[in-house]
Structure 1
Amino acid sequence: MATTTFWHSLWRTKPVDQIVSEGGDGEGGGLKRSMGLLALTFFSVGATLGTGIFVVMGEATPLAGPAVVLAFLLSAVTALFSALSYAELAGTIPVSGSSYSYTYATMGELVAWVCGWCLLLEYGVSVSAVAVGWGQYLNDFLDKAFGFTIPDAFSQAPDKGGIVNLTAVFIVMAMTFLLLRGASESAKVNTFMVFFKLALLIFFCAVAFTGFESGNLKPFMPLGMAGVSAAASQVFFSYIGFDAASTAGEEAKNPKRDLPLAIIISLAIVTIMYVLVALASVGAMPWQELNGDTEASLSAILTDVTGQTWPALLLSAGAVIAITSVVLTVLYGQTRILFAMSRDGLIPKIFQKVNPKTSAPTANTLIVGCAVAFLAALVPLDQLTEATSIGTLFAFALVNIGVMVLRRTKPDLPRSFKTPLYPLTPILGVFFCLYVMKGLRGVTWLVFIAWTVVGLAFYFGYSRRNSRLLRQDKELT
């Protein structure tokens, strides 16, 4: 009987009604519903549209040539399958836990824990890496604007010749203290930053298209479809972040309507901007010259077309602001996922304590901010950042499976949005996630497996014994 109970507890799902009814039920108060559709959409855009356009395109263009434009479209279609599944579950289960909560409702506690543990890798390590990149872009801006840079000792990690990366620590802690003021204040700042970077990228396209030469697009696919596929695998990771709105389920004013819309609209905005920037770039500059440092290449395009340096300076400033919004929104998502896991008893209660004045999980935010700042300041992140991709894809695959499970187990559950072409869409979502995961390096799989083993040890050592759902089961028996 004990064995049966143990096995049952691992796969026991949490009822959707219970998950939704507990929404905002944190120690010291609940989260405040303060975000409308615009704020939610821009949270996802802010988390997605940043390092991708300034870094990934320079790595992908040499693989595909001018057809890098197709690579962005192919990656968008791949992301769309998972985005539609996220939209359905976000409208059905509008809580803070994102794919962790969706998995808890469909596949049980153990799978939900593994999913949540992967999200910690995705959000925590990725924002540390982004913070490191922010310091590099800040130095580029300072060099162009004022002719000086922050010394490597304080702007690089020890593995890159620095002592401590203070620029990375600064941006992480600055965004941490902004989050402590509450989700509403953070959303306002993020909305401003997203408007700025969208306007800047539109400005870039408008200028670059004046220097457009159709000859730069010939041959359009010099490396064949294989090159486009290789570039698409590289580019896919610049779409990660569209799910950020789903972590704000308990702070949305009208979550059942706005969460699905925010996820789909944000993916559409990001795709349009990526395709326009890519097309303008390969049209204005021979694709062989667009490699390595994308931001430098985009700056060169502006300088060549206008004959002036100020547009390039403006672009550098835009890169700094673009990456700032990524740090803010990803930190936010991390704290809300931890909030949901803490409420379920799977991690310590301190992560669900909410400040009654700001409606922000104060201790949670400070712990996450300090941990991320430590990683960004001292730890080599080259291999770990790639590991964030595999964690993300694993979570995406689970969400697609979750849609199919919930359709079968709860067919009559009210859904504000339904994934079209069901079940083809979620099946394709799982397939594409597994396909991209298959192409990742062996060392990435080793890091992922090691991280999962550590997570399982924590689950069986702490989380299962403190599970709120397990306590409820024992009370009923």
Structure 2
Amino acid sequence: MSESVTALKKAIRPIHLWAIAVGLVISGEYFGWNYGWGVAGTVGFLIATLVITVLYITFIFSFTELTTSIPHAGGPFAYSYKALGPLGALVAGYATLAEFLLATPAIAFALGNYVHFLYPSLPVLWTAIGCYIIFTGINLLGIKESAVFTLIMTLLAVVELLIYMGIVAPSFTAANFFRNSMPAGWGGVFAALPFAMWLYVCIEGVAMVAEEVKNPAKTIPAGYISGILTLMLLALGVMILTGGITDWQQLTAIDYPLPESIGIVLGKDNSITKLFAGIGLFGLIASFHSIIIGYSRQMFALARSGYLPGFLSVVNRKFQTPHWSLIVGGLFGIIAICLGKTDQLVILSVLGAAVMYIMSMISLFVLRRKEPSLNRPFKAPLYPWFPGIALVLSIVALIAIIWYNQMLSLLFFGGLAFVVFIFLALGKHRQKSLPGLSN
């Protein structure tokens, strides 16, 4: 291992980027979203999902402008630095790390539960920890190898979701879907927003492999846009069809709603049910693996810029991967698994996402005014409406998350206040340059 290499390898093509974009998120179709039914009902959650879908469509088309004009591994951290300075970058970097580092243990929990569903003798916790060890190891081998693995897993996961919809569709009835469909009224819709975000959260992680993309001006827009369209169709299809096959209240608090739904339709002893639960791991693996790529690159960029300890920016000479960021991120995730619960981790992750979306859209507006001549290979359509809609809906989502999850929000913002205090105490806010950016 070399302590002097800090350059990442450019190896990602459009198909790999689509796979990473979809792979980052696709586990959201497998679990987590069903907690939204528990607070809003089927129709309430559908309304929340449609609102969040608008948020993500407008956000991704706007965010792509930032990613293509500033292809930096720091992603939102780098955009905020260029627009708002070191302190803005700190807030964006903290939020992004919280989003990615806390999404991963939630997915690890789901992996453990899926495996336990298949093999009850295997404990959920130790299976989840084992997943961290295995997939951190795979990520150490190189970005091209990781991207190819993600592509395979993502394609299998997409095919599986299509098969799932085909199996449950004949059992769908409107009576089931609309039974007690908004038990908490409009308040439930707001409470469900974080679980609706779980259907799309982390897609912006594509930005964190921007330095490893071949021809980013063309490849990044293609990856983002094809990814969000794929996820939108899958999310709505899975959520609506699942809600109409049975009493949806049976599915509101489990980490394996799709195998359970197949079991309801075909019978739990049916061989297809067990097969589906087995291959259901593909979607979870795709997201787990892809988000590890995302948080390791974010830690790499923050460390390279002096916001985290410098050893996290070291890149392995042979594989050109940020090995210390991968290892430390994995250890953090294992600790989170031992301390948290799935729904709590989901809430904390989307809290980070909402803050990051707000910082990114503010950065876009500032950069349009501050640097009008910045090279923008892709421009946000319908400017300023698209980024404006994304900003307003992100603020609404953040307020709703805080209102319905006050203790978790206190934990999140308490952590932010602490890192801001340390940052100011060390004088980091006076930093004048950021590696990889021209000021």
Q: TM-score, normalised by structure 2?
A: 0.89
Instruction: Report how many aligned residue pairs link the two structures.
Output: 427
Aligned partner of residue 284 in structure 1, secondary structure = coil
Structure 2 CA distance for partners of 1:470 and 1:133, relative to 1, 3 Å: closer
Residue equivalent to 2:253: 292
Residue equivalent to 2:122: 150
Residue equivalent to 2:59: 82
Aligned partner of residue 421 in structure 1, secondary structure = coil
**What code does the residue aligned with 1:136 have?**
N
**1:464–1:470 contact (8 Å) kept in structure 2:** no
Note if 1:192 corresponds to 2:152.
Answer: yes
Aligned partner of residue 250 in structure 1, secondary structure = helix
1:45-86 deviations in Å (ceiling 9; x for gaps)? 111110443232253266233564444322211222221221
Structure 2 CA distance for partners of 1:80 and 1:240, relative to 1, 3 Å: same
Residue equivalent to 1:348: 309
Q: TM-score, normalised by structure 1?
A: 0.82
Q: For the residues of structure 2 that align with 1:353 and 1:470, how far apart are their CA atoms?
A: 16
Residue equivalent to 1:28: 5
Residue equivalent to 1:3: none
- Kindly report which structure 2 residues correspond to 1:292-371, keeping only aligned pairs within 5 A, or say none: 292-293=253-254, 295-296=256-257, 298-306=258-266, 309-371=270-332
Q: Which runs of 5+ in 2 are unaligned?
A: none
Note if 1:202 corresponds to 2:179.
Answer: no
Note if 1:97 corresponds to 2:74.
Answer: yes
1:185-208 deviations in Å (ceiling 9; x for gaps)? 111111111111111110011111
**2:68–2:378 contact (8 Å) kept in structure 1:** yes
Moved more, 96-105 or 387-396: 387-396
Identify the match of residue 408 of structure 2 among 444, 450, 455: 444
- Kindly report which structure 2 residues correspond to 1:120-139, keeping only aligned pairs within 5 A, or say none: 120-139=97-116
Residue equivalent to 2:90: 113
Q: For the residues of structure 1 that align with 2:209 and 2:427, how far apart are their CA atoms?
A: 24
Q: For the residues of structure 2 that align with 1:219 and 1:457, how far apart are their CA atoms?
A: 50
**1:114–1:455 contact (8 Å) kept in structure 2:** no
Aligned partner of residue 329 in structure 2, secondary structure = helix
**What code does the residue aligned with 2:76 have?**
S
**2:110–2:256 contact (8 Å) kept in structure 1:** no
**What code does the residue aligned with 1:456 have?**
V
1:345-388 deviations in Å (ceiling 9; x for gaps)? 23232122222221111222222223323332x32356455222
Q: Specify the structure having the higher radius of gyration (Cα).
A: 1
**What code does the residue aligned with 1:379 have?**
L
Structure 2 CA distance for partners of 1:375 and 1:294, relative to 1, 3 Å: closer
**What code does the residue aligned with 1:261 have?**
A
Q: For the residues of structure 2 that align with 1:117 and 1:33, how far apart are their CA atoms?
A: 26
Q: For the residues of structure 2 that align with 1:255 and 1:131, how far apart are their CA atoms?
A: 31
Shift of 1:116: 0.8
Q: Which runs of 5+ in 1 are unaligned?
A: 1-25, 144-148, 156-164, 472-477
**1:98–1:247 contact (8 Å) kept in structure 2:** yes
By relative contact order (CA 8 Å, sep 6+), the higher-ranking structure is: 2
Moved more, 47-56 or 60-69: 60-69
- Kindly report which structure 2 residues correspond to 1:26-65, keeping only aligned pairs within 5 A, or say none: 27-60=4-37, 63-65=40-42
**Between the two proteins, what is the percent identity of the paired residues?**
22
